[in-house]
Amino acid sequence: MDAAVAEDIGSGDVTTLGCVPNDAVMTAHLMARCPLVVAGLPWLDPLIAHVHAAITVHVHVQEGSMVDAGTSLACLTGSARDILTYERILLNILYVSCGIATTTRQYVNALQGYHAQLMDTRKTWPGLRAVSKYAAHRGGALNHRMGLYDGIMIKDNHRGFVQNVAATVANLRQTHPYMSLIYECDTMEDIKTALDAGVDHLLLDNMSPETLRIALDLIGGKASTEASGGITLNTLSDYARTGVDYISTSTITMNPQAVDLGLDQE
């Protein structure tokens, strides 16, 4: 929030200070100007409290719900100066969170009827990890690890330094017994190595649906499976039909659908 205030307000909102009396009050509505999934409203109160703004928020809709254009998400009442000064910062947070949630819901809806569940990734805009993960969850996705500290993923760049996969996996499980352990596989040989080491979650990276089916036959239910890499809304069902357990994509957090929100004075 401090960074958002610094880049937008800097040394002060010169326009508002020059136009709006110090004691003026106003009421304004956060309006959805397109259909969207609501996400991010619980962030408003702590953000407002952080900057000591004299604004009260009255929420009108349920977090995670789909709303139509023209819906008032919340009502802001209080200091006109504070509302006008912090309007853009609050809206920008909602743009990101509602956009991610809306895109995620599209993917989740496309997976209806399939076994696969949608997962997010660590590919998020810098500084917006918590907002992005929260919004993806509100959209219906499962959260992957939050960062490098709360889950183990042995990726291709790690594998080059691992001489004995089984020993490394055993050591990681001993030192971090409560963390998930994922092994990224690019080839069938990688899959065999991971299974021999007792890995129980395999990330099958950049495989076509046809190759993925072969991989799943090889795994034979011995580990949970995750397809990732280049999967779009258009190809989602092709991957889901393979029977994979999870599908992860960075699109929902890095390239979400744009949503239109505005602040309309009452």
- Give the distance, in angstroms, between the CA of residue 90 and the centroid of all CA atoms in the same chain: 18
Give me the active site residues, please. Answer: 88, 123, 155, 184, 205
At 158, the amino acid letter reads H
Q: What is the DSSP string of 180-241?
A: -EEEEESSHHHHHHHHHTT--EEEEES--HHHHHHHHHHHTTSSEEEEESS--TTTHHHHHT
CA–CA separation, 165 vs 209, rounded Å?
A: 27
Cβ-proximal residues to 228 (8 Å cutoff; 6+ apart), any chain: 121, 203, 204, 205, 206, 247, 248, 249
Of 190, 237, 176, residue with least CA distance to 218: 190
